[in-house]
Amino acid sequence: MPGLQHFFESMRTYLAEPGATGLERLYAAHPGWEAPRARVALYGRFVRHHVADGVEKLFPLVRRCVGEAAWEELVRGYFVTGPARHYELNRLGEHFPDFLSDKAPERGLPAWVPELARFEWTDFAVYTSEERVPVTVERLSPNPTLAVLRHSCRLCAFVRGGAQGEPRSGEELALLWRHPRDLVSLYMAADDVALLALKIAVEGLAPAEVAVATGVAESDIRAAVERCVADGLVLTP
């Protein structure tokens, strides 16, 4: 229906600029419309607030690192990149890391800021993951909520330290997952123990054959697996 399409297009334009100028453009697009301006303006502020509030809650470390003035400018820029479409309000921040990646060069942001945003979003996505963690498994298995991120700096230690200053340089493989019993999200910079346990779980290897192949004592291999089972990174029968 052309009329309905025109309405939604005009509302999209208005919500991208829900101030006085945007409001006048909206009414100009619908001559004779008698909806109270105060109510329509309130709706515009309401939508903008949802986006700003959601992004602030999802990315507190990014906000701290860039400073308030730059943060407010970034949120305003993000708001106009597209309408909020998902019914779950936290999903309004899903594309914020991509937005920061695109805008980092022109806004003078360090390359690690978009990576930090990706880390914060992934931490939230892991915590709210709808992946079903089985109550029992037939063999050693990786946690189905596991997410893997590759960083150009040491973000795990940076986040654990409260995101003060800047992260140390050096590539990092970060593992993020939700503990199957405690239901909290956990993260770590992947080390040899975690990678070995995941390899055993993914490939269905036996500790004895891994010991023969690597020359590492079988007791050490079993201890590595047990550590990762306790952390919830892998699941055991």
Span 208-231, average pLDDT: 93
Residue 134 counted as domain residue: yes
Query: Residue with structure tokens 């040899």?
Result: 192
Residue 195 counted as domain residue: yes
Q: Which residues contact 158 (CB under 8 A, 6 or more apart)?
A: 116, 166, 167, 168
Express as a percent the part of the chain with pLDDT over 70.
92
Over residues 112-138, the pLDDT tens digits come to 999 999 999 999 999 999 998 888 889
Residue 23 counted as domain residue: no
Residue 205 counted as domain residue: yes
Residue 192 counted as domain residue: yes
CATH of the domain at 149: 3.90.930.50
Q: How far apart are CA 109 and CA 71, in angstroms?
A: 11
Query: Which residue range is the domain that position 135 belongs to?
Result: 129-237
Residue 111 counted as domain residue: no
Residue 211 counted as domain residue: yes
Over residues 2-22, the pLDDT tens digits come to 678 888 888 777 776 666 777
Residue 45 counted as domain residue: no
What DSSP line would sit under 75-143, residue for residue? Answer: HHHHHTTS----SSGGGGGTTHHHHHHHHHHHHT--THHHHHHHHHHHHHHHHT------S--SS-EE-
Over residues 18-77, the pLDDT tens digits come to 667 778 888 888 888 888 888 877 776 667 766 777 899 999 999 999 999 999 999 988
Domain count, the chain: 1
Q: How far apart are CA 207 and CA 218, in angstroms?
A: 6
